[in-house]
Structure 1
Amino acid sequence: MTTFASTPTLISSVPELEAFLSSIPLSIRLIDVLVLGKSAFTTASNNGKTLKSIFEDLDIPKCLWDVRNDADALWALYDVGLAGVIDIQLLENASRTGDKTYVRGLDKSVQFDLKLGFMEINRWIRTKKEVVSLMAANVFASRPMNAKTVQYCANDVIHLPDLHALYLKRIQGDWLVKAKQESERRVAEAHSLGYEPQSPTKKLGPWGSGTERRVVTLDELLDELEQRREDDLARDIFGDDDEVGYYDYDDYDDDKLNSGDAVCPEAFDSCWDRNS
């Protein structure tokens, strides 16, 4: 399971960024786009690579959870066109054995799919709620950035490798192809002039219910029953009325909209200043 022992590093200077790009480590680093501006994407490493060139390289896989708003911001504000994207939210939806009508949020997948310990998942949720409660104060624009805010940002990516591996293991080949194609379509949609980041249709999966008849093995049936049991247990522990979901647009319940980045302007604008 992915973990980190100390507060992730916040890169806020060009020399730090050059060093990072020259030898990207297998650990979390947060790049301060608010301070660095466009140089965050155009600063080159020793081998000439920039974040822009990496993000736009079709042969370098980029894994995100619901790529749409990120792709929109990168394109509109920094002229960065994401390519080679695997949307892990789509992998989750495509790899389900049950109904696929609604996409699931990152919070729910971290809570229900990763088998994290109680204390670990509780810390993850507490950090998110604490920072969400401060968003009206524009905490993302404060410098130096509060350690809790840095942790909040890191928490949004720390579990993505494990979720990616989990869903790849359970997905069928034809659905993997569909997920990759839909990931590309999501990026193209986010680049379009008519893209609406607050659209209520974003809670919907791209394939309808996806529940055409198929043979289910005994192991698959037992896995699904176990997942339902764990979901019920998690709801008993954490509850359904989670205010975190309101502020995180990536977070949807399985059967209703439970979203946020688009609903909470501070969450989006503090990270991507549309006036810059």
Structure 2
Amino acid sequence: MSGPNVNTIFVSTASELSTMLISIAMQPTSPPSLYIDLEGLNLSRYGTLSLITLLIAPTSTVYIIDIHIMGVSAFTTPASTSAISHTNSSTTLQSILESATIPKVFFDVRNDSDALFAHYHINLQGIQDLQLMQLATCSSGNRRTVNGLTRCIEKDLQLPQAQFVSWKNVKDTVAKLFDQHSTLGRGVFNERPLRDIVKKYCVQDVLHMPQLWRTYNRRMTEFWREMVERATTGRIQESQSANYEPHGRHKVLGPWTNTEIAREEKGWNERRKRGIKLEVN
């Protein structure tokens, strides 16, 4: 999937949102069709949520949903049932995000979950976390710290150098704009109309996620699938707790130590012999 072939749609009205929801309802769930990223000023319970970028991979369509303008209605507006008969009238963006049967792929879901839960009472379910998938499949075996999205794209996708440099330049340009505006108490994600460079930033953050998912999914064993599923659930639960800290050096630490991995793998092998799956709490 490449940039020029992607259809980008900015969603800021109820009718536009309803059309998007209809499109989502028609998508397959295996492999995942939905790849999501959030943007805001100090994205967390302490900041704001401005935009949700949602890639529907099978249609190569990216929706940039204007949470800054729409607010709670972005999550509660239902899909129109008149356009397609099998669309449930109760289908909303919130119901999709909270569905355990519709897989949604995020990269490091923690602060996204924190912001959604704190500001809009959304309890994410059905999440697959690319950052944890990468950590589970790293060839070095060193799982002490996690990688950022830039590192994953550079290391695991092996894009042509010119393409990666262009991708990185967009990231760096918007990061500088964001820092400049944040000192003034506002963010570039809240400007309207949204700058073209910011739209490009949003789109490219989800654009390579399907390929990353396929890369890591191929590498994961059944043991690591279950470990990642449990750790992802743990991240969401942690992000909703009263003492969650959205920023700090602790965020680079992985959820597993080598000792814990060895213990879990031993227990998993024993349970597998008895036909018992690892529980996801």
Q: For 1:126, which of 169, 172, 194 is the aligned residue?
A: 169
1:7 deviates by: 6.8
| Equivalence for 2:116 | 74
Report the alpha carbon displacement of residue 175 of structure 1 after superposing the two structures with TM.
1.0
Q: Which residue of the partner structure matches residue 21 of structure 2?
A: 21
| Alignment match of 2:65 (pick from 31, 34, 54) | 31
User: CA shift at 1:209, angstroms?
Assistant: 4.1
Query: 2:245 is paired with a residue of what secondary structure?
Result: coil
Q: Could you give the per-residue CA deviations for residues 214-234 of structure 1, whole angstroms, max 9, x where no partner exists?
A: xxxxxxxxxxxxxxxxxxxxx
The CA distance in 2 between the partners of 1:50 and 1:7, in whole Å, is 22
Deviations 1:149-192 (A, max 9, x none): 01111121111111111001011210111001100110011011
Aligned pair partner of 1:191 in 227, 231, 240: 240
TM-score of the aligned structures, taking structure 2 as reference length: 0.72
Count of aligned residue pairs for this structure pair: 212
* Structure 2 residue 249 is the aligned partner of structure 1 residue 200: yes
Paired residue for 2:103, among 19, 37, 61?
61
Distance 1:169 1:4 in 2: 27
Contact residue 7 and residue 147 of structure 1 kept, 8 A: no
Provide the residue aligned with 1:92 in structure 2.
134
Counterpart contact for 2:7–2:62, Cα < 8 Å: no
| Cα-to-partner distance string for 1:220-275 (whole Å, 9 max, x where unaligned) | xxxxxxxxxxxxxxxxxxxxxxxxxxxxxxxxxxxxxxxxxxxxxxxxxxxxxxxx
Report the alpha carbon displacement of residue 4 of structure 1 after superposing the two structures with TM: 4.0
CA contact 1:8–1:151 (8 Å) conserved in 2: no
Shift in Å, 1:8? 2.2
Between Structure 1 and Structure 2, which shows a larger proportion of strand residues? 2
CA contact (8 A) 2:3 2:204 kept: no
- 5 Å-filtered alignment, 1:1-276, equals 1-5=1-5, 8-24=8-24, 26=59, 27-46=61-80, 47=87, 48=89, 49-98=91-140, 99-135=142-178, 136-137=180-181, 138-209=187-258
- Give the letter for the 1:59 counterpart: T
Give the 3 Å change call, closer, same or farther, for CA 131–23 of structure 1 in structure 2.
same
Aligned amino acid, residue 68 of structure 2? L
| Structure 1: gaps spanning 5 or more residues | 213-276
Whole-Å separation in 2 of the counterparts to 1:139 and 1:7: 22
Task: Tell me how far 1:199 sits from its aligned partner.
Answer: 3.2
Q: Which whole-Å CA distance do the structure 2 matches of 1:38 and 1:189 have between them?
A: 23
- Whole-angstrom distance in 1 between the partners of 2:139 and 2:158: 19
Tell me how far 1:144 sits from its aligned partner.
0.2
Query: For residue 122 of structure 2, what is the amino acid of its counterpart?
Result: V
Would you say the 8 A contact 1:2–1:161 is kept in 2? no
Q: How far apart are residue 97 of structure 1 and its match?
A: 2.6
For residue 3 of structure 1, report the CA deviation from its aligned partner: 3.7
Distance (Å, rounded) in 1 between the aligned partners of 2:238 and 2:114:
9
